[in-house]
Amino acid sequence: MVKSWLGQAAAIGILTTEFPRRPADPEELPAAARAPGAGPVALASLPPEVRAACPTGAISLTEIDQGKCVRCARCLPAGLVPAPDASANLGSRAGLRWPDGRPPGGTGPAPLAELGPSLHVFLVDVGSCQGCNLEVMGLANPYYDLHRLGMFFTNSPRHADVLVVVGVPTAAMVEPLRRTFEAMPAPKAVLAVGACAIDGGIFAEAPGRAAAVGEIVPVDLYVAGCPPAPVAILEGILALGRRRSRGPAP
């Protein structure tokens, strides 16, 4: 006998994530190049081949740049610790640079309290591989269900509170991105999502790359990863509106 859709739903149960009512499950977050609390890393004494193997130059003699890190885990044999880590995903540009492989602290997002209780999000892809694009759009699926948090995608920058930018800005997209930002009413905020948007990622040296997103529009917050997980992007949007709630779940 075919069950009614109601019966099937009751049998399956609720699959929507409980984030942000509960902290993100480690399986919902991508690995970072270094877990906080794992102690300082003697970056200067790492064999040069470790830095050479990093495809984006994220490991210098003094810091790991989470904004450049694409979570490829090539540094794993050298003792760096890829681990699910929420704090590695979110920050100002300076806050994503980890001296000695540890988060610097004190450079977290500055919430924009004046954003209203209902947020409208406008997505601009300035040259992505579609990876970041898909992860952002995943927020609208039944698992992440951003509508339950009073947030919606909008098709017009005129209605948007938050501009989400993904991809490597190509020359053709510099002016459209700038105009999109200017078309948004104040108050507004910009979230740059993914290594490409932050610093070019694996396309940093590509001839078609025009600039970092932060050089075109004022970025309020960066979400690192390649691509970042939807829950990390959601955390970024929530942080912008000071709407993050991490109280104990009932």
Contacts to ligand SF4 by CB under 6 A: 33, 54-56, 58-59, 64, 69-75, 80, 128-129, 131-132, 166-167, 194-196, 201-202, 226-227
Coil, strand or helix at 176: helix
- Least Cβ distance, residue 189 to ligand SF4 (angstroms): 20
- Least Cβ distance, residue 221 to ligand SF4 (angstroms): 16
- Least Cβ distance, residue 192 to ligand SF4 (angstroms): 10
* β-bridge pairing 83-84 and 31-32: antiparallel
Cα–Cα distance between 221 and 238 in angstroms, integer? 11
Cα–Cα distance between 40 and 162 in angstroms, integer? 36
Q: What share of the chain is helix, strand, coil (3-state, %, to 5)?
A: 30, 15, 50
Are 236 and 102 a contacting pair, CB within 8 Å? no
**Nearer to ligand SF4 (CB atom), residue 33 or residue 212:** 33
- Least Cβ distance, residue 63 to ligand SF4 (angstroms): 10
Nearest in space to 216 (alpha carbons), one of 179, 164, 241: 179
Cα–Cα distance between 210 and 243 in angstroms, integer? 34
Tokens 């600039």 belong to 211
**Nearer to ligand SF4 (CB atom), residue 31 or residue 121:** 31
**Nearer to ligand SF4 (CB atom), residue 117 or residue 207:** 207
- Least Cβ distance, residue 57 to ligand SF4 (angstroms): 8
**Nearer to ligand SF4 (CB atom), residue 149 or residue 237:** 237
Are 145 and 16 a contacting pair, CB within 8 Å? yes
Nearest in space to 98 (alpha carbons), one of 88, 84, 90, 106: 88
User: Which residue number is nearest to ligand SF4 in terms of Cβ?
Assistant: 131
**Nearer to ligand SF4 (CB atom), residue 146 or residue 195:** 195
- Least Cβ distance, residue 127 to ligand SF4 (angstroms): 8
**Nearer to ligand SF4 (CB atom), residue 129 or residue 239:** 129
